[in-house]
Amino acid sequence: MVVLRVTQNMMVRSSLTGLQSGLSRVADVQEKLATGKNINRPSDDPTDAVVSMRMRSELSRAQQHVRNGQDGLSWLTMAETALTSTNDNLRRVHELALTGANGTSSATSREAMATEVEQIRAAMLDDANTSYLGRPVFGGVTAGSKAFDDTGTWIGVPGAVQRTVADGVRLRVDVEGTDVFGDGASSVFAELDALATALRSDDKASISAAIDSMTSRMAGVTDVISRVGATYSRADKAVLTAEDAVFGLQVSLSEVEDVDLPAAMVDLQVSQVAYQAALAATAKVVQPSLVDFLR
């Protein structure tokens, strides 16, 4: 029969190991309370750490979709505002052309109408060069600050400005200027110049042609406004969906990572009581040695 002899060193070593273990538990709980997180390093819970990293990746992607969608909505809002203003200006030009075509206007009245047409042309050129964050919304992918020069020539670069609002979903958020205003000699600006000249010279044929072209322009702008509105609605829904995804992922991530404060407080109290009890028991078990008395 083997008899195991328990020495003083064994008792001290075992007691210190137990005390260190109790102190580590107290420190772990205190760290969780201080950081508010259950997982402060992967070794705390490897399984939940992997889940947490995957959730954070999904959360980051959803948040980017929200930012993309909101940026796209801003582009579309600027375009819609400019298009609405353009449509109103075209309607006013149409009214002026009808007035000039009736043949009863005096030279002074025709001059006033021609001057108003020129002012409307300048306003429409400003609308055509509407920009968002320094980029013209009717300029395609140009790096310049304007879509049209003063002559009404399109100086943009063909290409679609797109935003990714969901996985695999990209929306075009710009409008190519030539689809709305035309280009060069066939642009609305050239037509307005011709109308102003026709009003001054009382050229009925040219004024009638301008009436037809303004009618066609208004129909085209209305179609583009409808298209922009449909895209805006789709982008807005995508943003709401992405925001819901962000909220859901944040809740799920909190359930995995965040500490349960009431439970952690109870754990801390239990750990501290256990540690204090271990200290008291160790003090009784490990009695002072003869060397301690001789000091």
**pLDDT tens digits, 35-78:** 667 777 777 678 878 888 898 899 999 999 999 999 999 999 99
Question: Based on the domain organization, do 191 and 265 belong to the same domain?
Answer: no
Which has the closest alpha carbon to 284: 52, 10, 15?
Answer: 15
Are 143 and 280 in a shared domain?
A: no
Looking at the structure, tell me whether residues 212 and 76 fall in a common domain: yes
Query: Within this chain, do residues 138 and 267 fall inside the same structural domain, yes or no?
Result: no
Q: Is 76 domain-assigned?
A: yes
Please tell me whether residues 195 and 277 are part of one structural domain. no
| Residues 237 and 295 reside in one and the same domain | no
Section 99-107 average pLDDT: 84
- State whether 168 and 277 are in the same domain: no
What is the value of pTM for the model shown?
A: 0.78
Q: Name the residue range of residue 270's domain.
A: 260-295
What number is the average pLDDT over the span 271-291?
64
Q: Is residue 17 part of a domain?
A: no
| DSSP assignment of the chain | -------HHHHHHHHHHHHHHHHHHHHHHHHHHHH-BS-SSGGG-HHHHHHHHHHHHHHHHHHHHHHHHHHHHHHHHHHHHHHHHHHHHHHHHHHHHHHHHTS---HHHHHHHHHHHHHHHHHHHHHHT-EETTEETTSBT-SSS-SB-TTS-B--B----EEEEETTEEEE----HHHHH--GGGSHHHHHHHHHHHHHHT-HHHHHHHHHHHHHHHHHHHHHHHHHHHHHHHHHHHHHHHHHHHHHHHHHHHHHHB--HHHHHHHHHHHHHHHHHHHHHHHHHS---HHHHH-
Distance CA 105, CA 113 (A): 10
163 and 63 together in one domain: yes
Between 103 and 189, the more confident residue is 189
The total of other beta-carbon atoms located within 10 Å of residue 101's CB is: 19
Identify whether residues 193 and 282 lie together within a single domain.
no
Q: Report the C-alpha gap between 194 and 206 in whole angstroms.
A: 8
pLDDT tens per residue across span 192-215? 999 999 999 989 999 999 999 999
Find the CATH number of the domain harbouring 116.
1.20.1330.10
Closest CA to 181 of 61, 248, 87, 49: 87
Report the mean per-residue pLDDT for the chain: 85
Who has greater pLDDT, 23 or 98? 98
Domain contains 204:
yes
In a domain, 25, yes or no: no
For the chain, how many structural domains are there in total? 2
